[in-house]
Amino acid sequence: MAERKLLDQVSDLARLKHLSLRTEEAYRNWIKRFIFFHGKRHPRELDAAAVRAFLTYLAVDEHVSASTQNQAFSALLFLYKQVLQIESLDIAGVPRARPSRRVPVVFTQNESRAIISQMTFVLFSLIPATSALLSAHLRKSNVWIREIR
């Protein structure tokens, strides 16, 4: 029996290890991009320098986020260590994508109160108009509402 194609082996092992379908798809896509990046050469022919070059390309040229680069890195580790069973992959020194530096917006108590008071004003100013529209619509639809007191 012929050996299965590389991406089929990736799928088989991902399912054997109970990885989610989305993880399997992502790993297959990253491995495919890695192979195309290196001119359709088989990963067994490529060394750690090739992995470094691909991850560097993602960070420097493609400007991917840190989490995206980490996902590509995990896919290649899975490929080399699990599928191809090559343990001696030294990929130290890869430039890492910078994590985003989003600063959360934090309101003071007074700012929060001011915003909430404006929201309640808008809400209560809309109630009469909304109830009048709803009432008119219900009358046109021949629906009667009985008030219970």
Question: Can you give the CATH number for the domain in which 38 is found?
Answer: 1.10.150.130
8 A C-beta contact, residue 12 and residue 4: yes
Within-domain flag for 111: yes
pLDDT band, residue 34 (cuts 50/70/90): very high
114 and 78 inside one domain: no
23 and 71 inside one domain: yes
Domain extent, residue 120, equals 107-149
123 has a pLDDT exceeding 70? no
5 has a pLDDT exceeding 90? yes
Within-domain flag for 45: yes
**End residue of a domain, out of 83, 98, 133:** 83
122 and 53 inside one domain: no
pLDDT band, residue 133 (cuts 50/70/90): confident
Within-domain flag for 101: no
User: What burial class does residue 55 get, using C-beta atoms within 10 Å of its C-beta: 0-12 exposed, 13-18 middle, 19+ buried?
Assistant: buried
Lowest mean pLDDT among 31-45, 50-64, 116-130: 116-130
Among 53, 33, 35, 54, residue whose Cα is nearest residue 44: 35
39 and 74 inside one domain: yes
Global pTM reads 0.64
